[in-house]
């Protein structure tokens, strides 16, 4: 309708017991009524009696001018469609509460036109109804507390919310909100459907984040709620600055990155997330992480997509996925579910085309996916705890090997990374790997050799023992294939420790062991990187394997001179006072027939003892440990 008037209607029970809207004031109402036809009015005001008070139940917008203006006000506000002949908004009129500033600005825009008069008419009807709501919002901003049934007022679709419940500061963009009961109907939850910026190894985009706030009594503060609009935080500017800076760092950690790490990391690959404290080298690699952990899916929507499309219900993806359900989410307040597809997700945006805005940097995930080389687990690492590697350039120089052996090892390893395809076998893809065998008793420096070479090359060392691979041939084959693929993706050097079982000569009476040797040889044929094998003994090596070794080194037992160098090396690396450790004392220690690993353990334990006794390492500390 074009008539710039609001037609008030009243709720009345009809003879069959259902409610209907009428022009006449029912007997239980007080007030005036109007008798004009309904269709010509710009707005219909539906009124009902609540606790003896007339309250606006809903408004029906019939004016085409008004609908056109409201399209500009609401934009892509979720759940609104103004394309029909009329549009109805029911109390508590959430779209108007959340877009009131834009609505008022539209009302006061330009000269007095018919559209302006229609807008002012609607405003005059809404203002009395929303006065109490705006007072509640004002109280929340000043006092920082709100009741459960009022939560919808403060979570405006499109606003940025802040949470530190995960142990890290995080920002999310609200898509929409809703209330839900747990499946057992025991408790009500207020659910925030939000998004953040993530990377799935190939593309960047928006991923879904759901946060459930359990029903509570009385008023709760922001801290008690756990997630709240960033705009009310007293350190809003500081948080924005920190999160944007972290977003820039996140953006620099895309692809395969070899880094150092010290801090907590989380294993999301199992049903129950588990935290670990990690100190050591890591490889950041989201693509390989997701490839070898099929239970985790990162669905993304393109960064330039409209997130709050009317009618979108991103949460349906969770309900249809057996891996996630609301029952699981409702186990405790603050349970977070990430990585559902946002509606019809388009798969994110190619990283080569991405230049994140500051608003998007603010929303970047606080974790990156990768692998801990020390504890051998796929983990999610805190962006803030990722560090550049402080390379130990002395490690290779102090390696106790003949000079030409050291140069040969390094040359072989380096050339393999640069020219892996230069010496292929006749069959494409075969024989491109470099295999080096280090043989000798425990503790003579085999592992240290490989660590020193990779440190000099500045590449990851992917270390695994034969025991980790098991003895079941199909499983061993799958693990070897995975290991080789990962090493090639990272340009890493592999160290297979205690590889004796794979080297021994095949015999007719040992079918199971023969299978293992065959599986290993077959897998090795197509490996294109560098692999070091260590063994304590080589008695009867399989001929087929012997022909595939490019370089073999034999380490003798440590002599007095070598043991002295090992003692000095470990003692000088300590962060305690070692002035009492004279050359004579270290010469005395070198008389003891210990291998390098034993010497390292003695020095480590003695250093702990020294730290507890004033921080100075004394010969007596080492003697105490040696007596144990």
The three-point CA angle 317-322-325 to 5° equals 70
Judged by average pLDDT, the poorest of 11-15, 140-144, 397-401 is 11-15
Residue 69 has pLDDT above 80, yes or no: yes
The model's pLDDT over 483-539, given as tens digits with 9 standing for 90+, comes to 999 999 999 999 999 888 777 776 666 666 778 888 888 888 888 889 999 988 766
Give the confidence band of 343 by pLDDT, cuts at 50, 70, 90.
very low
CATH, domain range 394-554: 3.40.50.300
Position 6 pLDDT exceeds 70: no
pLDDT by residue (tens digit) across 567-584?
Answer: 888 888 777 777 788 888
Q: Rounded to the nearest 5°, which phi and psi values hold at 434?
A: -120, 120
Q: Quick one: 484 exposed, middle or buried, by C-beta within 10 A (0-12, 13-18, 19+)?
A: buried
Tens of pLDDT, residues 585-597? 888 888 888 888 8
Distance CA 570, CA 588 (A): 15
Give the integer Cα–Cα distance in Å for 589 and 582: 11
- Note the pLDDT of residue 154: 97
Q: Average pLDDT in the 319-344 region?
A: 36
Q: How many CB atoms lie within 10 A of CB 292?
A: 15
pLDDT at 535: 87
Residue pair 515/473 in contact (Cβ under 8 Å)? The answer is: yes
pLDDT of 165 reads 80
What is the layout of strands, in order, in the sheet containing 434-439? 461-465, 493-497, 530-535, 434-439, 551-554
The separation between CA 236 and the C-alpha centre of its own chain, rounded to angstroms, equals 23
Whether pLDDT at 132 is above 80? yes
What pLDDT sits at residue 14?
Answer: 64
What are the angstrom distances between the C-alpha of 357 and each of 241, 244, 247, 271, 362? 13, 9, 10, 35, 9
Which run of H or of E encompasses 571? Answer: helix 560-572
Name 163's bridge partners: 170, 227
- Which of 257-271, 524-538, 542-556 has the least mean pLDDT? 542-556
Q: Looking at residue 333, what is its pLDDT?
A: 36
Coil vs helix vs strand at 508: coil
What's the pLDDT score for residue 609?
83
CA 519 centroid distance within chain: 36
Measured CA distances, 118 to 2, 42, 66, 67 (Å): 9, 7, 6, 10
- Is pLDDT above 90 for 341? no
- Gap between the Cα atoms of 486 and 256, Å rounded: 11
Rounded CA separation 467/146 (Å): 57
Q: How far is CA 25 from the centre of its chain?
A: 59
Higher pLDDT, 54 or 601: 601
Q: What is the pLDDT of residues 99-110, one digit of tens each?
A: 999 999 999 887
Report the pLDDT value the prediction gives residue 419, as an integer from 0 to 100: 54
Using the predicted structure, report yes or no on whether residue 549 has a pLDDT greater than 90: no
Name which residue leads in pLDDT, 264 or 548: 264
Give 505: exposed, middle or buried? Use CB within 10 Å, 0-12, 13-18, 19+.
middle
Token pair 């879904």 in the structure block, residue: 208
The C-alpha angle 130, 132, 138, rounded to 5 degrees, equals: 105
pLDDT in tens, 187-237: 899 999 999 999 999 899 999 999 999 999 999 999 999 999 999 999 999
Calculate the average pLDDT of the chain. Answer: 82
Residue-wise DSSP of 341-404: --SS----EEGGG----HHHHHTB-SEEEEEETTTTEEEEEEGGGEE-----THHHHT--S-HH
Under a CB-based contact definition with an 8 Å cutoff, are residues 122 and 61 in contact? yes
Query: Residue 402: what pLDDT?
Result: 66
Q: What pLDDT score was predicted for residue 33?
A: 39
Classify 267 as helix, strand or coil. strand
The Cα–Cα gap between 244 and 33 comes to 57
Do the beta carbons of residue 621 and residue 609 sit within 8 Å? yes
Q: How far apart are the first and last CA of the chain?
A: 96
434-439 and 551-554 strand pairing: parallel
For the chain, give the percent of residues with pLDDT over 70: 81
- What is the sign, positive or negative, of the torsion defined by CA atoms of 591, 594, 600, 604? negative
Q: Tell me if 534 sits within 8 A of 435, measured CB to CB.
A: no
User: What pLDDT is recorded for position 86?
Assistant: 82
Whether the pLDDT of residue 367 is over 70: the answer is yes
With b for 16 or more beta-carbon neighbours within 10 A and e for fewer, the 385-397 pattern comes to bbeeeeeeeebbe
CA distance linking residue 90 with residue 589, whole number of Å? 86
Radius of gyration for the alpha carbons in the chain, expressed in angstroms and rounded: 35
pLDDT at 205: 92
What is the residue-wise DSSP string for 42-67? EEEEEEEEETTEEEEEEEEE--HHHH
Q: Residue length, the chain? A: 628
Region 283-300: mean pLDDT is 88
Q: Which helix (H) or strand (E) holds 197?
A: strand 188-199
Please check whether residue 369 is in contact with residue 378, taking contact to mean a CB–CB distance below 8 angstroms: yes
**CB of 590 within 8 A of CB of 552?**
no
Domain ranges within the chain, ordered by starting residue: 3-143, 151-387, 394-554, 560-627
pLDDT of residue 539: 66
Bridge partners for 338 per DSSP: 209
Mean per-residue pLDDT for 76-98? 88
- 270 confidence band (pLDDT: 50, 70, 90): confident
pLDDT for the residue numbered 4: 59
Which DSSP string corresponds to 79-125? T----SS-EEEETT-HHHHHTHHHHHHHHTSSS--HHHHHHHHHHHH
CB 133 within 8 A of CB 154: no
CATH of range 560-627; options 3.60.20.10, 3.30.70.3150, 3.40.50.1820, 1.10.8.60: 1.10.8.60
Q: Which residue in this structure is represented by tokens 């040359």?
A: 411
Nearest to 301 by CA among 166, 161, 173: 173
Which stretches of 392-477 are assigned E, i.e. beta strand?
434-439, 461-465
């Amino acid at each position: 309708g074009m008539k710039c008037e609001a037609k008030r209607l009243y709720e009345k029970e009809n003879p069959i017991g259902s409610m209907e809207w009428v022009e006449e004031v029912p007997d239980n109402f007080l007030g005036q009524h109007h008798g004009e036809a309904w269709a010509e009015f710009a707005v219909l005001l539906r009124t009902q009696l609540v606790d003896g008070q007339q309250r606006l139940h809903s408004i029906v917008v019939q004016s085409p001018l008004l609908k056109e203006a409201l399209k500009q006000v609401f934009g892509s506000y979720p759940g609104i469609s103004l394309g029909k002949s009329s549009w109805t908004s029911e109390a508590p009129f959430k779209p108007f509460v959340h877009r009131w500033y834009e609505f008022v600005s539209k009302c006061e825009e330009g000269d007095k036109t018919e559209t302006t008069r229609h807008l002012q008419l609607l405003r005059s009807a809404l203002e009395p109804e929303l006065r109490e709501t705006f007072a509640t919002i004002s109280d929340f901003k000043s006092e920082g507390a709100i009741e459960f049934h009022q939560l919808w007022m403060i979570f405006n679709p499109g606003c940025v919310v802040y949470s530190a419940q995960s142990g890290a500061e995080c920002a999310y963009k609200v898509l929409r909100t809703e209330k839900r009961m747990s499946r057992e109907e025991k408790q009500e939850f207020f659910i925030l459907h939000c998004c953040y910026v993530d990377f799935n190894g190939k593309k960047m985009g928006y991923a879904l984040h759901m946060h459930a706030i359990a029903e509570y009594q009385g008023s709760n503060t922001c801290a008690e709620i756990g997630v709240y609009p960033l705009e009310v935080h007293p350190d809003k500017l500081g948080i924005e600055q920190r999160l944007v800076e972290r977003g820039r760092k996140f953006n620099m950690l895309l692809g395969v990155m070899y880094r150092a790490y010290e801090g907590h990391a989380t294993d999301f690959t199992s049903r129950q997330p588990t935290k670990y404290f990690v100190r050591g080298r890591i490889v950041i690699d989201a693509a390989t992480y997701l490839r070898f952990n099929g239970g985790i899916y990162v669905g993304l929507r393109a960064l330039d997509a409209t997130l709050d499309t009317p009618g979108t219900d991103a949460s349906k993806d969770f309900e249809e996925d057996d891996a996630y359900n609301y029952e699981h989410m409702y186990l405790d307040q603050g349970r977070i579910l990430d990585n559902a597809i946002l509606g019809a997700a388009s798969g994110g945006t190619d990283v080569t085309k991405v230049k994140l805005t500051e608003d998007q940097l603010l929303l970047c995930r606080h974790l990156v996916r990768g692998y801990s080389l020390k504890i051998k687990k796929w983990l999610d690492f805190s962006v803030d705890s990722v560090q550049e590697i402080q390379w130990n350039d002395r490690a290779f120089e102090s390696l106790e090997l003949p000079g030409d052996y050291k140069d040969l090892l390094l040359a072989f390893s380096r050339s393999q990374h640069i020219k892996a395809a230069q010496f292929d076998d006749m069959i494409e893809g075969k024989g491109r790997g470099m295999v080096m065998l280090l043989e000798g008793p425990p503790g003579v420096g085999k592992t240290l050799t490989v660590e020193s070479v990779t440190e000099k090359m500045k590449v990851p060392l992917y270390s695994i023992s034969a025991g980790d691979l098991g003895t079941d041939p199909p499983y061993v084959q799958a693990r070897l294939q995975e290991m080789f693929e990962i090493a090639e993706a990272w340009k890493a050097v592999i160290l297979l420790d205690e590889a004796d079982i794979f080297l021994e000569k095949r015999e007719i009476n040992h079918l199971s062991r023969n299978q293992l040797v065959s599986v290993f040889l077959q897998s090795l044929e197509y490996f294109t990187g560098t692999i070091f094998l260590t063994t304590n003994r080589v008695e009867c090596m399989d001929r087929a394997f012997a022909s595939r070794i490019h370089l073999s080194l034999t380490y003798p037992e440590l002599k007095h001179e070598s043991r002295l160098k090992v003692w000095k090396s470990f003692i000088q690396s300590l962060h305690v006072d070692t002035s009492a450790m004279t050359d004579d004392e270290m010469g005395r220690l070198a008389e003891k027939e210990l291998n390098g690993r034993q010497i390292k353990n003695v020095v480590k334990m003695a250093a702990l003892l020294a730290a507890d006794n004033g921080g100075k390492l004394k010969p007596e500390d080492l003697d105490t440990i040696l007596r144990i």
